[in-house]
Structure 1
Amino acid sequence: MVLVIPSKEVDELIMDTGFISISIEKIKELTERNGFFVNRERAESDESIRQIIPYVVMQNLDDLYLLVRRLSSQTEKRLHGMYSIGIGGHVNDRDEGETPWMKFLSGMEREMNEEVIIKNSVGWPKYLGVIKESTTPVNRVHLGIVFQIKADIEGIKEKDKFAWEFANLKDLISKYDLMESWSKYVIDVLNT
């Protein structure tokens, strides 16, 4: 069971597409008021709802970005071979918290710790904005909530699913054409 919001409610609040600067309070309110859980199979194909996905950009203590490439062993075939600078995934009904937003925050923390070996973080992730896209079937059923965090990162845990490296902004830009769309939006913001 994954956290979703009706697409109609998302579209009423966020009319544009791409990377959108909107207050975290508005996203929290949208999630609290309209968030509910459905089985993942339905969520992946029902365009009347959008899955709310934490998407965390991670930097190491040297300000280099954690860059991962999705391997063919991943379940999401549509993203095989693509590079990403965001770590995250679905928020589950089993995540801690009594409200949809509390579950979102604990789900974000769970996803970071499931995927990355973090020795220590410098504070809580900083909210950057949202990514709403409608160009592909994948994007029409997801809404990315983008955060950034600096941490002492040892590597990634899911080596069977990802190849990884640390990269500066110039390196990220050089791989821009191989990035998944959400990462492109984030790189555009970082590069301004």
Structure 2
Amino acid sequence: MSATSTVSEEQVLVVPTTELHAIGHFQGFSAEVDRYLKPLLASSALAYRPRSAMEEDPSFKQLIPYVLMRHTDSQGVVWLFTYQRGQGGGESRLRAKRSVGVGGHISTLDANHSQAAADAGLYRRGLERELAEEVRIEGPYREQMVGLINDDETPVGLVHLGVVHVFDVESPQVTPCEDDLADARFLPVNEILSQIEHYESWSQIAVRALFG
């Protein structure tokens, strides 16, 4: 794995799309986390490459942790943390759309140069860093990795591979740490489903697969 970086541009973790297809191509959501993620993270073809080039190159997939925060109230109603993407940084092609997912790229910021290249903790550090940058979760929660998203039907999805996590929060107290997470609040899953066309494609795929 190459950890070469430049001062001027973010270097993000990618895997050749052919590596995904060799395991088995899928469109939408797959619950087979172990089948896909373990071999992809162990691949010798895993590398850091300039983000701007990767955003336009479908021969690579950028690995993206995608965290849904769920709260089940005392009446058994399931709520999800949602927000509207602002006009600031991040993926410009998703601006102004609603989302239920928090997360982002794994980059050279997460590389531990004191360890071997195939560092098992790399993905975890990327997840924790992105989450801490975007939200503050008040209170305890339980976490599980539930699936992957591959969406080759949209320009954004064509160059990204999402790893879906669900955080079951004890209290619906999640505070955005970035202005780009606008109108942040918990909404009942049924309400989200009724307005699902206003959400970004990954959110549509995840909500329908997990709650539809």
- The TM-score, its normalising length taken from structure 1, stands at 0.90
Deviation at 1:47, TM superposition (A): 1.3
**Structure 2 Cα separation of the partners of residues 36 and 76 of structure 1:** 21
**Percent of aligned positions that are identical:** 30
Alpha carbons 2:86, 2:179 under 8 Å: kept: no
Q: 1:182 aligns with which of 186, 198, 202?
A: 202
Paired residue for 2:56, among 37, 41, 45?
45
Please report how far the alpha carbon of residue 100 of structure 1 lies from its aligned counterpart in structure 2 after TM superposition: 5.1
Aligned partner of 2:178 among 122, 145, 158 = 158
TM-score (normalizing by structure 2): 0.82
* Contact persistence 1:53–1:91 (CA under 8 A): yes
Measure, in 1, the Cα distance between the counterparts of 2:71 and 2:134: 15
Task: Give the match's secondary structure for 2:64.
Answer: strand
Mark the runs of 5 or more structure 2 residues left unpaired by the alignment: 1-10
Structure 1 residue 75, shift from structure 2 partner: 4.1
Q: What is aligned with 2:93? A: 78
* Separation (CA, whole Å) in 1 of partners of 2:180 and 2:174: 16
Cα offset for 1:26? 3.6
Give yes or no for contact 1:116–1:156 (8 Å, CA) kept in 2. yes
Note if contact 1:96-1:103 (Cα within 8 Å) is conserved in structure 2.
Answer: yes
CA offsets, 1:6-64, max 9 Å, x none?
Answer: 01111121312110121335412211213211111111111111100000101246452
Structure 1, residues 60-119: CA drift from partner, whole Å, max 9, x if none?
464521101101234422111111111010001121544354211111111111111112
Superposed CA RMSD in Å reads 1.9
The structure 1 residue matched to 2:156, chosen from 138, 141, 144, is 138
The answer on whether the counterparts of 2:87 and 2:180 sit within 8 Å (CA) in structure 1 is no
Question: 1:94 aligns to what SS in structure 2?
Answer: helix
- Return 28-37 or 102-111, whichever deviates more: 28-37
| TM-aligned CA deviation for residue 120 of structure 1 | 3.1
The answer to whether residue 27 in structure 2 is matched with residue 12 in structure 1 is no
Deviation readout 1:107-136 (Å, 9 max, x if unpaired): 11111111111123323x311111111112
CA distance in 2, matches of 1:39, 1:69: 27
Q: What is the distance in 1 between the residues matched to 2:182 and 2:155?
A: 23
Q: Is the 8 A contact 2:68 2:100 kept in 1?
A: yes
Partners of 2:33 and 2:148 within 8 A in 1: no
Q: Residue 3 of structure 1 aligns with which residue?
A: 13
Q: How many positions carry a matched residue from both structures?
A: 191
Match of 1:105 in 2: 124
Runs of 4+ in 1 over 6 A off after TM superposition: none
Structure 1 CA distance for aligned equivalents of residues 88 and 47 of structure 2 = 30
Equivalent residue of 1:72, what SS?
Answer: coil
Judged with a 3 Å threshold, the aligned counterparts in structure 2 of structure 1 residues 160 and 49 are, in CA distance, closer, same or farther, namely: closer
SS at match of 2:109: coil
Distance in 1, Cα, partners of 2:158 & 2:181? 24
Alpha-carbon distance in 1 for matches of 2:26, 2:123:
23
- Which residue does the alignment assign to 1:65? 80
Amino acid at match of 1:158: E
**What SS does the aligned partner of 1:16 have?**
coil
